[in-house]
Structure formats: C-alpha cells, structure tokens
Structure 1
C-alpha cells in the first residue's frame, strides 16, 4: 500500500495501548481502499492527511458546497508547521450528520498552539464529508503536565 508500513499513524489511534500503524489505520482511507465508518475516523484521517501533506485527500473529503474556492494548491501554499498531536475531545453521530470536537496541536516559529474546533460532518451516499467547523480558544496543558511536543518533559520546562 505505501512505504510507511512501520510508522505509527499520526492520528494517534491506539489498540491495547499500542499505536496503530499507518498502513492499518489511515493509510487505507488515503489510498481509497476503505471509506471512513464515522466522522471521528474521517477526522483522524484528515488530520493525518495534513501531517503528510495529502492535500488532494483533504479536498476529496470536504463537502463541495463548503469548499468556498479552497483547492489542494491553496493548502500546499500554507505556512510550514510541525504537527504534534491530535486530541479528540468528543464525537457524536445522529443519522447522517456528525460532530467531532478536537484540538490539533502544532509548533511553528512562534511556539506551540492548537486548532480547537467542533467540526461538522455529513454522510452523503455512504461517504462522510467535512462541512464546516466552529473555532474555539485552545486549552493548553497545565504547567506540570507532559509537553505536547513529545519530549517527555513537563510543559513548563519545555515549550511554554
């Protein structure tokens, strides 16, 4: 499927306290070998697509009525950032609609920040698609919690 067989999937999905590998997690969705079974699975695959710069996948999983001119080329011109981790806060499904609230942590030249969003999804002919999201302020870790960069240090001693 890909040359990323031995890497942990960036979406952070775990099974029995072990991270899933990309090729058994988001990889099949990116290769169009599998459809997302839920809004949360689609959200995780979209986060991983941002990490891996799979901009065509992001456009393909975005409801066309909500693109507002967004293209893969536009996404490719975004400033360079280093994605750190995805935190799913909540997820819900009702019939053909769903919501996922998450924080996607990243580091850029100004430091650590997060996109905190409640995303909306619609299922159309069996395909879950992202429509839009409501943004919120990021909820940062407390000073003595582990830093989000993965260093193993406390947040106050690392990226604060």
Structure 2
C-alpha cells in the first residue's frame, strides 16, 4: 500500500481528493475555508488563472497576475495553518521560505458568496 501525501492545504486528504477538485471545477467550494485552502494550494502550484478566477472582480489584481505567479514559483511553501474560520472570514498563517529565510503571511481574509460561489475579497476589517 502506497503512502498518500496530504494535500498542500494541510487537510488529511490527498491533493486529488481535496484541492484538485476545486482547481478543476473553477473554485466551486461549499465553504469560504475550502476556497481559502484551495487558493493556498494554488499558490503552491503557481496556478495564476485559478487565483484570479477565485478573487472577487471588485478587488481582483489582474495586472499583477504575472508577478504573483513569478513570486509563488520563487518561494518554497512550507505549510498552511488555519487559526480561525467563520462563515465569511478565515484567519491563517502561510509559511514559506524566500531567499533562504523562513517567513509567514498572517492574514485575516474576507470572502463573499455570489450566485452560490465563494470569492476571495481581501483583508477583513477589524
């Protein structure tokens, strides 16, 4: 029996049974947390189209797509840590190594659901 590697997002499932499903269905997740996890995996895999597609049109940085993909490929992603998740807000830490230095993105993200589809909106206001 082979070893099943956990998904990049840290869920106790394989990538094929987790984030790959959302990467293939255009980000149609049930919860905001699932979308956030799938976006983290998209950063790990430098899936720029998915990141733009799942970013709400009102805040989508289309002109930055190439820069985002270039940066995502230039770092080594370590792990995702979900700190708190509510209906439309997810607080997380995303650890990575850049130029040999370990760093972390600490974010409280806001999501919005339109036509039964979740989108990343941006930083949640405290």
Cα displacement (A) at 1:99 = 0.2
Distance 1:99 1:87 in 2: 14
- Runs of 4+ deviating beyond 3 Å: 68-71
Summarize the Cα distance change of 1:120–1:134 in structure 2 as closer, same or farther, 3 Å threshold.
closer
Q: 1:90 aligns with which of 84, 87, 101?
A: 84
Distance 2:62 2:46 in 1: 19
In structure 1, the residue matched to 2:115 is 125
Q: 2:102 aligns with which of 112, 120, 125?
A: 112
Give RMSD over aligned pairs. Answer: 2.0
More helix by share: 2
In structure 2, the residue matched to 1:51 is 44
Distance 2:96 2:112 in 1: 27
The total of aligned residue pairs comes to 121
In structure 1, the residue matched to 2:11 is 13
Q: Which has the higher contact order (CA 8 A, sep 6+)?
A: 2
Q: 1:101 aligns with which of 88, 91, 94?
A: 91
TM-score by length of 1: 0.70
Contact persistence 2:77–2:96 (CA under 8 A): yes
1:42 aligns with 2:35: yes
